[in-house]
Amino acid sequence: MAAQDAIPFPVYVVHADTLKLLAVNTAMRKRSGSVVGGLCYKEIYGQDVPCMHCPLVEMMAKKDMSRRKMVFELFNEADDRWYQMEETLIPWHDGTVAKYSIAVDVTALKETQNALVEAHAELALTSRQLERLAITDQLTGLSNRRRLDDTLTSEVQRAERYGTTLSAIICDVDRFKDINDLHGHQVGDAVLTEMAQVLKDNVRHLDTVGRWGGEEFAIICPETAEDGALTLAEKLRGTIAGHDLSVAGRKTMSFGVATFRPGETVTDLIRRADKALYRAKEKGRNRVET
C-alpha cells in the first residue's frame, strides 16, 4: 500500500470471502485505527456482525469483472461521518478476489446540501405565506378585494362559457358608523372580525366570502341560481341577527343579491348586487333584496 499511503483519503482492501482486511493505507489507520487481519465490519464500522447491506454480495454476482465497481454514499455510525465510497473488485496476488475501497469524507458537503435544502424549504414556505398574505384581508382573515375580484372574473368567464349559474351577494353591517362613534374603532374592528367569522362558518365550501371594503362583505356563489342565493342570504341574515357579539351585543346586516345574466360583465353583476343592497337599506335594514 506504499503508493496508496500518498492518497489523503482512507483506502483499504478486504478479502471477498473472509471479510478480513488485507491492506490499509496511512489515512485509514489514522481515521479508524484499522489493522491488517481484522474484520472489516468490526475495524471500520464497529459492528459485531457483517453489514446487512454489504455491497460485496451485489458486486460478486456480476460475472463481468469490469462491471464489478460501485460508487455510493454511506453514513458510518462509528465515527458519525458521511463518505462517498468507490469500491472495486480486484484479483489479489494469491489468486483470490478482494474489494478495493476508497472512502472520501463528504460530511461537510452533506451538511452544506442539507442546509441548502432547509433554506429552499424555508424560502418556499415564506413564498407561500407571502402569496397567502397577498390575497387575505389582514383584519378579518377572509379573502381580500384582490382575491374577490380575481374569483369573480374567473367565475363569470366560467358561467358565460359553460352556461352555469352564478350569484353574488353584497352585505354590510347596519349602522356601522354608530358603532365606531359610540364604542371606538377598536370595537368596530372586533365587530367586523366576529361577523366575518359568522359569515365564513355559514357558507358552503365552494363559496368565496371576503371583505369587499370597509364594513362591506361579498360572497361569490358558483353553481347557484337566484333562489339558492336568496336562501343563503336569508340564512346569513337570521344567523347574524341572532348572534350575540362579544363586544357590542346584537347587530344586523343587510344583503343584496344578484344572479349572473349571460352577456353581462363583473361590473354589471356587482352593480346590481349593490343596488339590491341599497334597496334593503332603504326598506329598513336587516333585509335581503334582489
**What's the grid cell of residue 215?**
364594513
Residue 123 placed within a domain: no
Residues 57 and 97 in one domain: yes
Residue 178 sits in a domain of what CATH number? 3.30.70.270
Residues 103 and 155 in one domain: no
Long-range contact list for 263-268, CB < 8 A, 24+ apart? Answer: 263/160, 264/156, 265/156, 266/149, 266/152, 266/153, 266/156
Distance CA 6, CA 23 (A): 14
Show the domain range for 167: 135-289
pLDDT in the model for residue 54: 83
Residue 92 placed within a domain: yes
Nearest residue to 269 (alpha-carbon basis) of 206, 216, 211, 226: 226
From residue 43, alpha-carbon distances to 12, 27, 78, 103, 148 in Å are 11, 14, 10, 14, 67
Bridge partners (DSSP) of residue 95 are: none
Residues 141 and 102 in one domain: no
Residues 89 and 146 in one domain: no
Count of domains forming the chain: 2
Burial class (CB within 10 angstroms; exposed 0-12, middle 13-18, buried 19+) of 131? exposed
Residues 102 and 155 in one domain: no
Residue 94 sits in a domain of what CATH number? 3.30.450.20
- pTM metric for this prediction: 0.63
Residue 149 placed within a domain: yes
pLDDT in the model for residue 269: 98
Task: Work out the number of other CB atoms within 10 angstroms of the CB of residue 271.
Answer: 14
Distance CA 267, CA 271 (A): 6
Task: Give yes or no for a contact between 59 and 67, defined as CB atoms under 8 angstroms apart.
Answer: no
pLDDT in the model for residue 186: 94
Distance CA 155, CA 25 (A): 72
Residues 95 and 171 in one domain: no
Residues 165 and 281 in one domain: yes
From residue 48, alpha-carbon distances to 21, 29, 75, 274 in Å are 15, 20, 17, 80
pLDDT in the model for residue 45: 86
Residues 93 and 144 in one domain: no
Residues 254 and 158 in one domain: yes
Residue 59 placed within a domain: yes
pLDDT digits (tens, 9 = 90+) for 198-230: 999 999 999 999 999 999 999 999 999 999 999
Residues 269 and 141 in one domain: yes
pLDDT in the model for residue 1: 57
Bridge partners (DSSP) of residue 85 are: 72, 103
pLDDT in the model for residue 64: 65
Residue 125 placed within a domain: no
**Ranges of the chain whose pLDDT falls below 70:** 1-3, 63-67
Residues 159 and 232 in one domain: yes
Task: Give yes or no for a contact between 13 and 100, defined as CB atoms under 8 angstroms apart.
Answer: yes
Residue 121 placed within a domain: no
The DSSP code for 262 is T
Alpha helices by DSSP H, listed for 163-255, are 176-183, 185-201, 226-241
Residue 8 placed within a domain: yes
Task: Give yes or no for a contact between 195 and 241, defined as CB atoms under 8 angstroms apart.
Answer: no
Told to judge if 215 belongs to the known catalytic residues of this protein, a careful annotator would answer yes
Q: Which of 43, 155, 194, 215 is catalytic?
A: 215
Residue 252 placed within a domain: yes
Task: Give yes or no for a contact between 165 and 260, defined as CB atoms under 8 angstroms apart.
Answer: yes
Residues 187 and 225 in one domain: yes
